[in-house]
Amino acid sequence: MIKAVIFDFDGTLMHTCGLGHKILKRILKKKNIQFNKSEWEKLPYLNMREQLKIIFPLSAESLFIEWDKEYTIKFPKKVIPYKGVLEILSLLNNKEIKLFIFSTKYSRHINKALSKFSATSYFSEIIGKDYSGLTKPNPYAIQMLKKKYSLKNKEILLVGDSKLDLESANKAKVKFIQIIYNPNKEKLINKNQIIYSMKDLVKFL
């Protein structure tokens, strides 16, 4: 019996239409710094601060501060939940299933987005990049949740869209469900563990 669901955030619950890179491109253009798309595509699962440290090591922190200021303002305005997400969150909450978010985004951004859609109360905990400095695929956060809420591996589902989410689930030894909204997206696991709409999650409960 499933007692807890851990969700990835961006690409799973909500999307921002590439807002982060749009803001960065604007900042780089203003500073006459070239945006090399191929360099960013090599780092798809790192958050912005980590990406900047690799690509622009000398100016990473100043770029991040400027980026974060604008992103923090615009993120809650641009973020949109995928179809069916708010409904499934309400359903799972009514079933008294514990809900968590495990994301590479900062929790302050996630909380603002959830607040916009009155969804904050659905989640027992939100674990973002700022949680003890440990993020995906480190299993520490999931292990902490297991211990704190007396959960067994077989009682937990991790729902995500990326290889990083799959690796996180494997390291924590919990079941993984891949959500695919774009039919052209790479399938990471067998078809029995893939859903194409959040409402289909109920068949695993």
CB 55 within 8 A of CB 39: yes
Whole-number pLDDT of residue 137: 87
How does pLDDT run across 105-161, given as a tens digit for each residue?
Answer: 889 889 999 999 999 999 999 998 877 657 788 899 999 999 999 999 999 999 999
Cβ contacts of 10 within 8 Å, gap of 6 or more:
16, 103, 105
pLDDT of 58 over the 80 cut: yes
Q: What is the mean pLDDT of residues 27-50?
A: 80
Q: Model pTM?
A: 0.88
Q: What is the mean pLDDT of residues 59-76?
A: 91
Task: Compute the mean pLDDT over every residue in the chain, rounded to the nearest whole number.
Answer: 90
The verdict on domain 4-15+80-204 having CATH code 3.40.50.1000 is yes
pLDDT of 17 over the 90 cut: no
